[in-house]
Amino acid sequence: MSETVAAKRGVASATDAKRADVFRRLVEGHLDDSYRLASAILGSPTDARDAVHDAFITGWQRWPSLRRTDRFGAWFKRIVVNNCKDRLRKAARRRSEPVGDRQVAIQPDLAKAVQDRIQIEEGLRRLRPDDRIILALRYYRDLKIDQIAELLDIPPGTVTSRLRNAHIRLRRVIERSTPQGMTR
């Protein structure tokens, strides 16, 4: 091997190492937030960890396409959201109903709150991935309309419309699953 080829390889490997270090530092600054976001969307800590791990790999593969590192946070969140959306779609194709009774003997007010929470979570699981994501971003991550629009790369008016429609569908799902005689 000639000295020129060896020198070029040395420069390339130093550049690759620097590139990997920059990527690692940027991701580390966003891992906790990405995990919370994935948890809110997927509703499972295990699935959230897997989704963020997969987003890390996808981000590394797509890293050369990022033009401005100051936009890394929004870029990486979009990868996380898309990864979660893919997981929700796959899960919907192999959906199964939970087995067992979830009623627990606890105080009446707390029991109502727990029952409401269970109904909402079950309702969310039955929604389309896009509805679930928009509701999770708004209510679990407490993002504003403009923040959601930027994250999903859609106009704010579209976010508002999707939120309204997702609320309607969630209400219908919950009403269909609420036993007769129970008031909401």
Q: Who wins on pLDDT, 36 or 180?
A: 36
CATH number of the domain enclosing 17: 1.10.1740.10
Which band of pLDDT confidence, cut at 50, 70 and 90, is reported for residue 105?
A: very low
Tokens standing for 117? 């929470």
How many domains does the chain fold into? 2
Alpha-carbon distance values, 89 to 75, 85, 104, 112, 137 (Å): 21, 6, 31, 31, 17
User: What is the domain extent for residue 10?
Assistant: 1-95
Instruction: Examine the domain organization and report whether 43 and 115 are in the same domain.
Output: no
Amino acid sitting at position 118 = I
pTM for the full predicted model: 0.55
16 CA to centre of own chain:
29
pLDDT at 35 over 60: yes
Instruction: Examine the domain organization and report whether 37 and 105 are in the same domain.
Output: no
pLDDT at 11 over 70: no
Tokens standing for 136? 């999770």
Instruction: Determine the pLDDT at residue 89.
Output: 81
Instruction: Examine the domain organization and report whether 90 and 127 are in the same domain.
Output: no
Tokens standing for 90? 């796959």
Mean pLDDT over each residue of the chain, to the nearest integer = 79
